[in-house]
Amino acid sequence: MEAHNKSLYIYKNRKSYNVTVIAFLTILLVFVIFLSISFGSTKISLPAIFSALKERDTASKIYRIINYVRIPRTLAAVLAGSALSISGVILQSVLNNSLAGPSIIGVNSGAGLFAVLIAAFLPGSIYYTTIGAFLGAILSVLLVYFIARKTGASRMAIVLSGVAVSSFIGAMTDTVITLKPDAVMDRTAFIIGGFSGVTLDQMSLAGFCIIVAFALSLILSYDMNILALGDESAKSLGLNVGRIRFLYLILAAVLAGSAISFAGLLGFIGLIVPHVSRLLVGYDNRILLPVSALLGSTFTLFCDLLARVIFAPYEIPVGIIMSFLGGPFFIWLLLRRKRGQLYD
Amino acid sequence: MIRLINVTAGYDKVEIIKNIDLFFEEGTITTIIGKNGCGKTTLLKTASNLLKPFSGQITIKGKNISHIPNKELAKKLSFLPQLRSVPNITVYNLVMHGRYPYLGFTRTPQKRDRQIVEEAIESMNLDGYIHKNIQELSGGQRQKVYLAMTLAQNTDIIFLDEPTTYLDINHQLEILEIIKKLKHMGKTIVMVLHDLNNALSYSDKICLMENGRIAIYDMPQAVFESREIDRIFNISSTQVEAGDEGVKQYLFCLK
């Protein structure tokens, strides 16, 4: 009876805390969304935003800025931020590696190679770059997984295979750039990442993929908790470890690949946000995933806002702001951990 | 209860256990012993379906376990590995993981699941640690939490790989007493132990292995008297009676 009372008390306390965190982050995200629509080279007041959206006057400059520039940009930052963060949570949990991120399973290198190939052979086509980066991310992850599977698809095999494949694909990318130097300009913009000029059309497919992959991740979040027990314990509890790990890797690749396809290689979100979210709500993936999605969206949107307003009317790429904030945090994270604790 | 028929298994096409025929009886403790590398853990993993055999078959109550879906099998047998990840979660949440095979599509624990988890925690005397993170617990307490998880899984057959390794003598004996309690609850226990005295003292059956094969499978007294332990480990063993009740204990020394 004592155990029952204690567990009930802890369960209720924990639940109300989690609800409070989610509510707070949702309010914060909504607030930053309004800031993002309001601020930029042209400042638009809140009443003007509502008025423009209500009247829908296509001749109005304010409406056109909101509808064709600010909303797509805001939506892109929200989608990319949440997708990369969830991808990071999945990879860190599934690979049991606190320093894992989309780059560790070859997502970035695969997307980068295809972006360069498109820039070299189909110059000026943003649409093909989007599709190409997405396909590159998925194909490289499949390659990483199938190589790792030959050695049992253990967590370490996947990480090592990811490093090897990334290195090989990186060499291929450099070869293409050496032979076709014109591709460098497009590649640089892709590597830094950003939301400037993103259109709704450009991210419609990626957005759909992100929403579906996020929903599936939420459904499978408890299975991810079981996987954290280790392969043998998870299998003994009835989890199909090989299948579920493959599914998670694909979900992580779809999420990161989709985000990269319209936002470029945004560094550190997939690494930082899962760690901060864990500090807030702990390791239960059922709550960690939505919290990371909210926090990732807010952080990305906030960085994009800073990128637009710091040197307004000039804009600096959001990837630079993220790396300036993310780099020191990453170093702090490394220094905070004692030797031998990099793998939890 | 669980039967291995002419089972050969191993890793990467290398045979570790060969042509094993075994039958683990219902409601008993069977302990697998043998020298390092003789195939004890491989036998345990194969019997619990964690490792697919190269040949032969394993049956539970006459049914081939390879034909039983994962979750259904997880309701019949559980396996507690020697080396495990120690996730950053509370005792309650870890024990709740034992209910995974019973959870529906939404993975939401029902009242009955919570009740079983609370009972499992109470039966291991872990009430005071229910809200603790398992990373803060000692090795012995952690082992009890994992046994509580196994209890919450509510299977008839429990496989334990070296459940007392790395524990102090008090926790070793406590864990062995818990295992005995599980047997009295009707569970079939199959475990690997390195401590021969504990193996002979706590088991109903001993399975002594040598180079991937079974040297002898019998009751502890018969195994002791066969002198196979002395031959395989290259030691001399003696049986003594200890305490007022004359409990049989075993002493070992190098030849």
pLDDT > 90 fraction of chain B, expressed in percent and rounded: 71
Which among B84, B98, B114 has the least Cβ separation from residue A7? B114
Q: What is the pLDDT of residue A339?
A: 46
Q: What is the mean pLDDT of chain B?
A: 91
pLDDT beyond 80 at A197: no
The neighbouring-strand residues paired with B239 are B250
Nearest to B78 by CA among B104, B56, B105, B60: B60
Is B85 close to A4, i.e. CB distance below 8 A? no
Which of A235, A237, A286 faces B153 most closely, judged by CB atoms?
A: A237
> For residue A10, what pLDDT is reported?
62
So what's the pLDDT on residue B214? Answer: 95
C-alpha–C-alpha distance, residues B96 and B179, integer Å: 20
Q: Which helix (H) or strand (E) holds B236?
A: strand B235-242
Report DSSP state, residue A58.
Answer: T
pLDDT of A7 above 60: no
Contact indicator for A123, A109 with CB cutoff of 8 Å: no
Shortest Cα distance, chain B CAs vs residue A343, angstroms = 10
Q: Do A47 and A216 form a contact (C-beta atoms < 8 A)?
A: no
**CB-CB under 8 Å, B83 with A7:** no
CB pairs under 8 A between A and B: 94
pLDDT at residue B157 in the model: 95
Show the tokens assigned to B119.
């009972």
Residues of A in contact with B131 (CB under 8 A): 6, 10
Structure tokens at B174: 């406590």
Predicted confidence (pLDDT) per residue in B114-173, tens digit = 999 999 999 888 888 888 888 888 888 898 999 999 999 999 999 999 998 888 899 899
Contact between B100 and A238 using a beta-carbon 8 Å cutoff: yes
Of B74, B85, B87, the CB nearest to A238: B74
The answer to whether the complex's ipTM is over 0.95 is: no
Could you say which of A7, A235, A283 has the minimum Cβ distance to residue B92?
A7
Task: Give residue limits of the domains in chain B.
Answer: 2-76+155-254, 85-154
Find the CB nearest B130 among A6, A219, A235. Answer: A6
Question: What CATH architecture does domain B2-76+155-254 belong to?
Answer: 3-Layer(aba) Sandwich (3.40)
pLDDT given at position A188: 66
pLDDT in tens, A135-185: 888 888 888 888 877 776 677 777 888 888 888 988 998 888 888 877 665
Cβ contact A239:A223 at 8 Å: yes
Taking the Cβ of residue A242 and every Cβ of chain B, the question of whether any pair is shorter than 8 Å is answered with no
Cross-chain Cβ contact B81/A226 below 8 Å:
no
Return the bridge partners of B205, or none: B30
Handedness of CA A47, A50, A54, A60 (dihedral sign): positive
B88 CB neighbours in chain A (<8 A) are 282-283, 344
- Is the pLDDT at A4 greater than 60? The verdict is no
Whether the CB-CB separation of A269 and A84 falls below 8 Å is answered with: yes
How far is residue A48's CA from residue A72's CA, in Å, rounded to a whole number? 18
Q: What is the pLDDT of residue A89?
A: 93
A244 shares contact with chain B (CB less than 8 Å): no
| Mutant choice from B97, B123, B124 vs A, greatest count of A C-beta within 10 A | B97
Sheet of B77-80, strands arranged across: B77-80, B157-161, B188-192, B29-34, B205-210, B213-218
Lowest mean pLDDT among A197-206, A225-234, B104-113: A197-206
| pLDDT for the residue A111 | 82
| Residues B81, A10: C-beta atoms closer than 8 Å | no
CATH topology of domain A76-336: ABC transporter involved in vitamin B12 uptake, BtuC (1.10.3470)
To the nearest whole Å, the CA of A228 is away from the closest chain B CA by 6
- Interface test mutation site (partner B, options A232, A240, A286, A341, max chain B beta carbons within 10 A): A232
Amino acid at A310: I
B86-128 per-position pLDDT tens digit? 778 889 999 999 999 999 888 889 999 999 999 999 988 888 8
Distance CA A284, CA B90 (A): 10
Secondary structure element (H or E) that encloses residue B214, with its range: strand B213-218
Of A2, A225, A226, the CB nearest to B127: A2
Checking if the pLDDT of A333 tops 70, the result is: no
Question: Rounded to whole angstroms, how far apart are CA atoms B3 and B25?
Answer: 9
The residues on B that touch A, with CB distances below 8 Å, are 45, 48, 50, 70-75, 77-81, 83-85, 87-90, 92-93, 97-98, 100-101, 103, 105, 107, 114-115, 117-118, 121-122, 127, 130-131, 153
Which DSSP state fits A339? Answer: T
- B34 within 8 A of B210, measured Cβ to Cβ: yes
For B86, name the nearest residue in chain A, comparing CA atoms only: A229
| Section B184-205 average pLDDT | 94
Instruction: Tokens for A184, please give them.
Output: 């460098």
Q: A85-128 pLDDT, tens per residue?
A: 999 999 888 877 777 778 777 888 888 888 788 878 877 666 77
Burial class (CB in 10 A: 0-12, 13-18, 19+), A131: middle
For the stretch A261-306, pLDDT in tens is: 888 777 678 888 888 888 888 888 999 999 999 999 999 999 999 9
